[in-house]
Amino acid sequence: MPIRQLSETLINQIAAGEVIERPASVVKELVENAVDAGATRVEIATAGGGLNLLRVTDDGSGIRPDELLLAVSRHCTSKLDNGIDEIRTLGFRGEALPSIGAVSRLVIRSRCASGEGAEIGIEGGHVGAVRPAAAVRGTVVEVRDLFFATPARLKFMKGERAETTAISDVVRRIAIAFPSVRFVVSGNDRTTLDFPATGDRLRRIAQVMGADFPQNAIAVDAMREEVRLDGHVSVPSYSRANALQQYVYVNGRPVRDRLIASAIRGAFSDVLARDRHAVVALFLTLDPALVDVNVHPAKADVRFRDPGLVRGLIVGAIREALAGAGIRPATTGAAAMMGSFRAGPAAYDHPGPASGHRAFNPGFRAQVSAPFDIRHSPSRPLEGFGEAVQAVFDAGPLDSADIRGAATPETAATMPAGLRLGAARAQVHENYIVAQTEDSLVIVDQHAAHERLVYEALKTALASRPLPAQMLLLPEIVDLSADDAERLALHADTLKRFGLSIERFGPGAVAVRETPAMLGEMDIAGLVRDLADEIAETDTVETLAGKLNAIAATMACHGSVRSGRRLLPQEMNALLRQMEATPGSGTCNHGRPTFIELKLGDIERLFGRR
């Protein structure tokens, strides 16, 4: 077949296939152009999920009449003054407008601060003439009948609701990065989204992600080798079933990057269940020369010059922020608790034992009201626990050394400030510890809380020295690619600390001589290949660390205070003090909350006092 030059229309349609995936892609390109033009207000109007109509109006700097024709020509842009390595804007490729015009009916109307307004139209790739038009300062881009010129693409569109939702998501992601800009999205003759300008990032995040997020967020701010990470992450007990509430930005550009998503998942691996996801709004700022934003037509992916540095910064900064925040319950737990209360009847006759209800236990009151002195009453060893469990209760002086008789109502008023979880007042159903602080009531799940404490103690023990290894009678040879074998060899020392001893065995294989004793019988070849894949993608060996931590979590679960175990007041308070001193103790190893706090003001409202 002869080689021939494609027509300009076909070239633009091919480019549109790369850049314009759905109506939301059009909105992304046009809104980014508006922000780059210095707009303080951006309005997006839609009809038919954006397929019938998309109109983006801004009050930015506008386009001069003599530049309108260039604006709709391929490879024309105003955003590369400093070269491809110094991209400091959101848009830059110079393909969006001609690509949109190739598959729709496009009209651009614009006026600069000084000068007359003008407009230009494109229909299915055919460019019209520039003509005068009445316009206010800024730009209006109107897109009608999207994909009419490439009807095959319409078969892949989802329903109107799904396309509208995708448009809203695009605007939300851009809006978080630019709190000084007002964004309005309207459709079906009514306003669907309105984010007024705030000038404050956290207030804009609250507009987009909900008022609950700031109350359940932890600030992150760290820097490593001229790469800065700041923003907010949720407390572990405030999580979602998917990662849609993870907003990540690189130099102000919203991205969906696998390396960053993996780092966030790794940072929360110890405090969230596998099927739960943290809520985050994170901002990476670095020299544009250290990141390539030109690796994807839609600019959704980026490539870092030093991915290991970026991943390490994200994991380390989030874990440090979580540890520094102490233990914080999600406010949603208290809200759910408030919603579950019901007002009682005016009069209540206590049923007798014959009614089927459990009779009142007089021993319960004696258990919780007997005065005691934590300072002079060391915690009683709990039978059947291992050394790690015992270490939790024998961890040294308690923060509550000055509390005397903390389980009695008479001494509650003298309780010193600074005890996050207060003093134990009772144990309910041999599973829940009820504690009182200066201004709240705290309910602790004793098994979940102690499980986290034992797990952290085991992890500390694992990290303090090389792990015991078991030698194989015969080394296991694992065939790999030459590149994978080389990557594993470079991490041999780190793997040795985890009890996995490997060495090169020819150009495309490794010999495994020792495995971690904790793992027992295992699929050695599968583990080695998983490690090779992880190193290739993230330059880490967390697969092995994760397996060891999973074993530690299982051990902690079986070695913790069980539900149904009655505790002495000393033991309950010792558990509370150790929780206060242990990072991550706000959730158990499975990601569930270990305690719920109900403020005194909320309790008073339940009884109509406020």
- Note whether 49 and 18 are same-domain residues: yes
- Note whether 188 and 214 are same-domain residues: no
Residue-level pLDDT at 57 = 96
Residue-level pLDDT at 2 = 80
- Note whether 166 and 291 are same-domain residues: no
Residue-level pLDDT at 438 = 86
Is residue 200 in a domain? no
CA distance 166 to 3: 40
Q: Which two tokens stand for residue 291?
A: 């990141």
- Note whether 115 and 223 are same-domain residues: no
- Note whether 269 and 149 are same-domain residues: no
Tell me 414's DSSP state: G
What is the tally of structural domains in the chain? Answer: 4
Mean pLDDT for the stretch of residues 11-25: 75
591 close to 271: Cβ distance less than 8 angstroms: yes
Residue 146 vs residue 588, higher pLDDT: 146
Residue-level pLDDT at 529 = 87
Q: Which two tokens stand for residue 14?
A: 């091919």
- Note whether 77 and 164 are same-domain residues: yes
Is residue 515 in a domain? yes
205 close to 219: Cβ distance less than 8 angstroms: no
Looking up residue 240, the CATH number of its domain turns out to be: 3.30.230.10
- Note whether 292 and 416 are same-domain residues: no
Is residue 356 in a domain? no
Is residue 82 in a domain? yes
Is residue 289 in a domain? yes
Q: CA-based diameter of the chain, in Å?
A: 97
Instruction: Quick: pLDDT tens for 219-270.
Output: 999 999 889 999 999 988 888 888 999 999 999 889 888 889 989 998 888 7
276 close to 239: Cβ distance less than 8 angstroms: yes
Nearest 10 degrees: Cα torsion 150, 156, 160, 164 = -90
Instruction: Quick: pLDDT tens for 484-539.
Output: 898 888 888 878 877 888 899 988 899 999 888 767 777 888 888 888 887 777 67
Residue 443 CB contacts under 8 Å (≥ 6 apart), including other chains:
428, 432, 433, 434, 435, 595, 596, 597, 598
For residue 447, list its beta bridge partners. none
Residue-level pLDDT at 238 = 86
Instruction: Quick: pLDDT tens for 299-353.
Output: 667 888 888 899 999 999 999 998 887 777 677 666 666 666 655 554 444 444 4
DSSP annotation string for 457-486: HHHHHHHHSPPPEEEEEEEEEEE--HHHHH
Is residue 367 in a domain? yes
Residue 554 CB contacts under 8 Å (≥ 6 apart), including other chains:
none
Kindly report the CA angle at 134 between 131 and 137, in degrees rounded to 5?
110
- Note whether 134 and 152 are same-domain residues: yes
Is residue 399 in a domain? yes
> What are phi and psi for residue 237, nearest 5 degrees?
-75, -5
- Note whether 366 and 439 are same-domain residues: yes
DSSP annotation string for 168-183: HHHHHHHHHH-TTSEE
Nearest 10 degrees: Cα torsion 569, 572, 574, 576 = -140
> Pick from 195, 224, 255: which residue ends a domain?
195
Residue 377 vs residue 80, higher pLDDT: 80
> Pick from 275, 295, 324: which residue ends a domain?
324
CA distance 587 to 577: 15
- Note whether 52 and 169 are same-domain residues: yes
Evaluated on CA atoms 285, 289, 291, 295, the torsion sign reads positive
Instruction: Give the relative orientation of helices 542-558 and 524-538 as an angle to the nearest 10 degrees.
Output: 120
pLDDT at 206 over 70: yes
Q: How confident is the model at residue 279 (pLDDT cuts 50, 70, 90)?
A: very high
Residue 20 CB contacts under 8 Å (≥ 6 apart), including other chains:
26, 29, 99, 100, 103, 146
Within 10 Å of residue 324's Cβ, how many Cβ atoms?
11
For residue 120, list its beta bridge partners. 108
When the pLDDT of each residue in the chain is averaged and rounded to a whole number, the result is 78
- Note whether 536 and 598 are same-domain residues: no
Looking up residue 422, the CATH number of its domain turns out to be: 3.30.1540.20
Nearest to 59 by CA among 118, 107, 111: 111
Mean pLDDT for the stretch of residues 46-64: 93
Residue 521 CB contacts under 8 Å (≥ 6 apart), including other chains:
none
Residue-level pLDDT at 283 = 96
Residue-level pLDDT at 374 = 33
Chain-centroid distance of CA 389 in Å reads 32
Nearest to 290 by CA among 304, 273, 270: 304
- Note whether 441 and 567 are same-domain residues: yes
- Please tell me the pTM assigned to this model: 0.71
Q: How confident is the model at residue 121 (pLDDT cuts 50, 70, 90)?
A: very high
Is residue 453 in a domain? yes
Residues in the chain: 610
Looking up residue 496, the CATH number of its domain turns out to be: 3.30.1370.100
DSSP annotation string for 532-584: HHHHHHHS--HHHHHHHHHHHHHHHHHTSPPTT----HHHHHHHHHHHHHSTT
Domain ranges, residue 589: 331-339+362-458+561-606
Q: In the Cβ-directed half-sphere of 104, how many Cα atoms lie within 13 Å?
A: 30
Looking up residue 35, the CATH number of its domain turns out to be: 3.30.565.10
Residue 481 CB contacts under 8 Å (≥ 6 apart), including other chains:
508
- Between strands 501-504 and 53-58, the pairing is unpaired
3 close to 17: Cβ distance less than 8 angstroms: no
> Pick from 324, 354, 383: which residue ends a domain?
324
Residue-level pLDDT at 308 = 86
